[in-house]
Amino acid sequence: MDPQRKRKIRLVVALSVAVLLAVALVYTSFSAATAAKEPSQLLGAAPGTSYDLTGKVVKGSIRKGDEEMRFRVADRDGGGEGIPVTYSGTVPDPFRGGREIVLTGEVQNGVFIGEPDTLVTKCPSKFTTSNDS
């Protein structure tokens, strides 16, 4: 085979692999992603659909039970009364009232049931200009 042709074949192969990867990326990411919602957006949420709940833990709402933990999460800007949440599993160190969290789970009868070990609490950061405490 002459080298010109060989190179062309290689290029076509490389490009098709790249295109394949790109298509796979796009396709799987849209199907695998969970939508992030704030409590106020979860009011009409369909039961059985998984969401990422994002918002602020309402101060003083945390109740630790034997097996699970209950607390309320309100919108990040503090609006609304928030949604009650139950969660079992590990609680990250920075978790406490007033912190922003992300939790995967679904809504059942107006209560957000968090999946175990999906609770993410934002680090009180380094780069915030205002202190929330």
Partner 1 sequence: MTASLGSAALALAFATMLFAVGTALVGRNGDERWVLASRRAVYAACALLTLCVALIEIAFASDDFSLNIVQQHSSIETPNFYKLAAMWSSQEGSLLLWAWVLSIASSLALYSTRNKLRELVPYATAVMAGVASFFTGLMLFAGGVNPFAALDPVPADGIGLNPLLQHPSMMIHPPMLYSGYVAFTIPFAFAIGALITRRIDASWIRATRRFALIAWALLGFGLLLGARWSYTELGWGGYWAWDPVENAALMPWLIGTAFLHSIMVQEKRGMLKVWNACLIVATFSLALLGTFLVRSGVLQSIHAFGDSTVGPYILGLIAVVLIGSTALIVSRLDDLRSQKRIDSLASREAVFLVNNLLLVALCVTIFWGTFFPLISELFTGTKSSLAAPWFDRYTTPLAILLVLFTGIGPLLAWRRVSWATAKRVFFVPSLVAAVVGFGLALFTDALHKPWAFALFVFASFALVGLGQEFWRGAAARRSLAGGSMAAALVGVVSRNRRRYGGYVVHAGIAVLLIGIAASSSFQTNRDIKLRPGESAEIDGRTVTYLRPTVAVDKDKFSFGAVMAVREGGGESTILHPSRRFYRPTGVSGGEISDFFDGEATSEVGLEAGLANDFWMSEGPDVSAVQRRVRAADAGFRACVRGAPGTPPQCRAVSNLMRAAASNPSLQPAALRTIENLQTATAERIAKSYLRDDAAATFRVIVNPLVTWMWIGGLIALAGTLIAIWPPRRSRRVPVANTELEALKEAKYREIRDAELDHAAGKLSDEDFALLDAELRKEAVEILDSANGANGNGVATNGAQGRGAEKRPAEPV
Residue 28 binding partner 1, by CB under 8 A: yes
Residue 1 binding partner 1, by CB under 8 A: no
Q: How far apart (Å, rounded) are the C-alpha atoms in residues 28 and 62?
A: 36
Tokens of 60: 């003083």
Residue 14 binding partner 1, by CB under 8 A: yes
Which is it for the CA torsion 59, 61, 80, 33, positive or negative?
positive
Part in contact with partner 1 (CB under 8 A); list of ranges 78-86, 94-102, 106-114: 94-102
8 Å CB contact between 80 and 55: no
Residues that bind partner 1 in the complex, under the rule CB under 8 A: 3, 7, 14, 18, 21-22, 24-26, 28-30, 32-37, 52, 54, 64, 89-97, 100, 102, 104, 120-131, 133
